[in-house]
């Protein structure tokens, strides 16, 4: 992805920006390391192989974690009391133990003796390691399929959304989109799933404005796109959402079922779903450790800020968020090639020189993050329902993407904000993308804005504002900045928000074999 930069930024200022982002983010990482959540503990049991749900759809993993928390707490981790119970013969296996715990017939405890504790934790680690090895195997399978079928022949990769609510309807639409040229299929998650504190089970057919993220839905769509990859002669990637109250669990299921990209922003759930900030930062660190291990590319959500704040006035907040997302991601083990940092074509088209401003913002991101596959988002906020105007705006968006070397281009729809797109709308949108990429795909070679011209001056101005904001954040604290409405004009204090009751402070001796395996790179 790295190429010669198209604009010149002050190297010392860039280093200062990254240093400030690290200083702003480090206290939050410390908080994340000192806490766990119910979803982190449930994800750990999922890695150990616990699946399924009761007759009302409540996952057994929820039952088991709730039972342990109610009796001995989660301060020492869920696996120690769970595998102590199995070692004592309370149940023959993890599933039976979870079922018995749902009826209140299991007594959990923390082993007291050193030998008992060591044996219990060794057993837990061995079981969780099986899940980690399954993720490793899926990553290796992806690498083999890419070698066999190949990657898309050009960048940016064309990213297209499917969202019917019914996985059986999503599959043929996704396959059709891949045949028409889409390189990445994103299955939008059903509205409201981010606020569910459990992951639904099985194939689903009743999502609203999207399809539920479940392990079975992941498996079905991945298998279908593997078929289409063989047909079209390139590996078609699959995306879903690792966000909300079950972020760690969905990330884990994505790794187990070989998804390739996951929407995973450090602040999106806080700002736009009012999820507690501490819960979010703890969950996102674990989820990103899973993504790092699975070889999954994350997509961050900076584009959302520009749907609530002005895209010109708030441009520097996007840059600040990108720098923070980069720091949090790398701290969790992600590499540059996995950082699909987000930004968007959201300036009001009535603003004079709006296209030049868009180019400046896109080039700033491209130059700051030369090795990241940046995710470039289409216009939504200023789509009016005039499909002809919308189609033109999307064409300008596609042109900006190829001129500035974006890595992942989400296909814009001229019916955005009017209806859920029809297949015909997607076909027209893909025609728009193909025309621009075919006609101007090499334009970046010839595009060199003057060093002191409008575009470069604007980019340097935004970077300067970003540095100033980061400097204030390091003084006031990131959690306070979020509480004050710095990002997206949303005020989210650290002691409020959904899911706060699921946050647990770790006790001395806390043990989570998944975290240990992920942080050490071990396989057993």
Whole-angstrom Cα distance, residue 84 to residue 399? 60
Cα 73 from Cα 59, distance rounded (Å): 19
**Which phi and psi (to 5°) does residue 498 adopt?**
-65, 140
* CA separation for the pair 80, 102 (Å, rounded): 18
Task: Extract the tokens encoding 342.
Answer: 């987000």
Place of tokens 């298998």: 223
User: Tokens 């930024």 appear where?
Assistant: 9
Nearest CA to 212 out of 342, 98, 53, 64 is that of: 53
HEC-encoded secondary structure of 262-281? EECCCCHHHHHHCECHHHHH
Separation between Cα atoms, residue 64 and residue 93, nearest integer Å? 12
Number of other residues whose CB lies within 10 A of the CB of residue 48: 23
Spatial CA neighbour of 197 closest among 82, 73, 62: 62
Q: Are 215 and 294 in contact (CB under 8 A)?
A: no
Residue by residue, DSSP assigns 67-133 as HHHHHH-STT-SHHHHHHHHHTTS-SSHHHHHHHHHTT--------SHHHHHHHHHHHHHHHHHHHH
Burial zone of 395 (CB within 10 Å; 0-12 exposed, 13-18 middle, 19+ buried): middle
Tokens of 103: 């009826």
Distance CA 68, CA 71 (A): 5
The encoded tokens of residue 481 equal: 């900045």
**Catalytic site residues?**
268, 303, 375
Cα–Cα distance measured from residue 254 to residue 217, given in angstroms and rounded to the nearest whole number:
10
The token pair that represents 236 in the structure block: 């078609």
- Dump the DSSP string for 426-440: HHHHHHHHHHHHHHH
Phi, psi angles (nearest 5°) of residue 274: 55, 40
- Going by the DSSP 8-state scheme, the letter that residue 339 receives in this structure is E
User: Across the beta sheet with 342-344, what order do the strands follow?
Assistant: 339-340, 297-299, 261-263, 237-241, 184-187, 157-162, 408-410, 375-377, 342-344
């Amino acid at each position: 992805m790295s190429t010669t930069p198209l604009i010149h930024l002050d190297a010392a200022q860039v280093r200062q920006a990254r240093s400030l982002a690290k200083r702003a983010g480090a206290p939050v990482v410390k908080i994340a390391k000192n806490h766990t959540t119910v979803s982190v503990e449930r994800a750990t049991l999922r890695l150990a192989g616990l699946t399924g749900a009761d007759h009302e759809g409540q996952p057994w993993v929820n039952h088991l974690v709730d039972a342990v928390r109610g009796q001995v707490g989660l301060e020492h981790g869920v696996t120690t009391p769970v595998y102590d119970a199995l070692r004592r013969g309370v149940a023959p296996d993890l599933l039976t133990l979870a079922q018995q715990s749902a009826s209140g017939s299991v007594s959990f405890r923390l082993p007291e003796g050193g030998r008992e504790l060591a044996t219990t934790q060794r057993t837990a680690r061995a079981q969780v390691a099986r899940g980690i090895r399954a993720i490793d195997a899926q990553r290796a399978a992806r690498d083999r399929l890419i070698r066999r079928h190949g990657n898309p022949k050009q960048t940016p990769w064309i990213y297209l959304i499917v969202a019917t609510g019914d996985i059986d309807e999503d599959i043929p639409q996704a396959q059709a989109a891949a045949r028409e040229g889409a390189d990445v299929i994103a299955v939008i998650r059903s509205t409201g799933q981010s606020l569910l504190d459990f992951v639904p089970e099985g194939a689903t057919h009743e999502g609203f404005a999207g399809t539920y993220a479940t392990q079975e839905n992941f498996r079905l769509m991945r298998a279908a796109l593997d078929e289409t990859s063989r047909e079209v002669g390139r590996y078609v990637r699959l995306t879903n959402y690792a966000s909300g109250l079950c972020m760690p669990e969905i990330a884990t299921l994505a790794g187990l079922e070989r998804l390739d990209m996951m929407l995973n922003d450090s602040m999106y759930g806080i700002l736009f779903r009012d999820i507690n900030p501490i819960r979010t930062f703890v969950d996102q660190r674990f989820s990103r450790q899973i993504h790092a291990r699975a070889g999954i590319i994350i997509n961050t959500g900076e584009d959302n800020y520009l749907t609530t704040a002005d895209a010109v006035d708030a441009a520097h907040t996007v840059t600040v968020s990108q720098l923070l997302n980069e720091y949090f991601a790398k701290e969790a083990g992600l590499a540059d090639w996995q950082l699909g940092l987000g930004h968007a074509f959201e300036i009001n088209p009535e603003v004079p020189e709006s296209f030049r401003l868009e180019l400046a913002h896109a080039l700033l991101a491209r130059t700051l993050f030369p090795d990241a596959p940046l995710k470039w988002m289409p216009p939504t906020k200023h789509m009016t329902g005039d499909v002809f105007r919308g189609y033109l705006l999307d064409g300008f968006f596609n042109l900006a993407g190829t001129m500035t070397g974006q890595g992942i281009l989400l296909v814009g729809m001229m019916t955005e904000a009017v209806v859920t797109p029809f297949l015909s709308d997607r076909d027209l949108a893909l025609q728009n993308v193909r025309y621009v990429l075919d006609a101007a795909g090499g334009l970046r070679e010839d595009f060199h804005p003057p060093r002191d011209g409008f575009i470069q001056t604007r980019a340097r101005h935004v970077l300067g504002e970003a540095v100033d904001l980061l400097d204030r954040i390091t003084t006031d604290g990131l959690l306070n900045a979020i509480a004050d409405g710095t990002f997206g004009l949303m005020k989210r204090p650290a002691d409020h928000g959904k899911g706060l009751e699921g946050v647990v402070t770790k006790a001395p001796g806390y043990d989570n074999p998944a975290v240990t395996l992920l942080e050490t790179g071990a396989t057993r």
